[in-house]
Amino acid sequence: MKQHDAIKIFEDKKVRTVWDETSETWYISIIDVIVVLTNNERPRKYWSDLKAKLKKEGSEVSENIGQLKMVAPDGKMRMTDVRDTHRYYHQNMGR
């Protein structure tokens, strides 16, 4: 899988993305999207609590979430939860 990292800017906030050339799919950092949407100062905690709540309610959110290494704010490569845009589109828009 050949990947290309990219940073997208949305309202002055960085959103980490990875392009997978093989599947022609963008992967987006969920934590970064949470920051954009909620402006929460503890996005990892927010995401952890939300996943637990959704799981308790019977959601299968974890089946739609993957993990990839992305450059973290400290410059190191770290695993982070991601969502691919290709599968999202086909599940929600491409019916």
Q: Contact, 90 vs 25, CB < 8 A?
A: no
Q: Contact, 27 vs 83, CB < 8 A?
A: yes
- Secondary structure of 36-52 as H, E, C letters: HHHCCCCHHHHHHHHHH
Task: Specify the DSSP class assigned to residue 17.
Answer: E
Tell me the percentage of the chain whose pLDDT exceeds 90.
Answer: 39
Q: Contact, 27 vs 20, CB < 8 A?
A: yes
User: For 10-40, what is each residue's pLDDT tens digit?
Assistant: 667 889 988 888 888 889 999 999 999 998 9
Q: Contact, 68 vs 82, CB < 8 A?
A: yes
In this structure, what token pair is assigned to residue 87? 């599968």
Reply yes or no on whether the pLDDT at 9 is more than 70. no
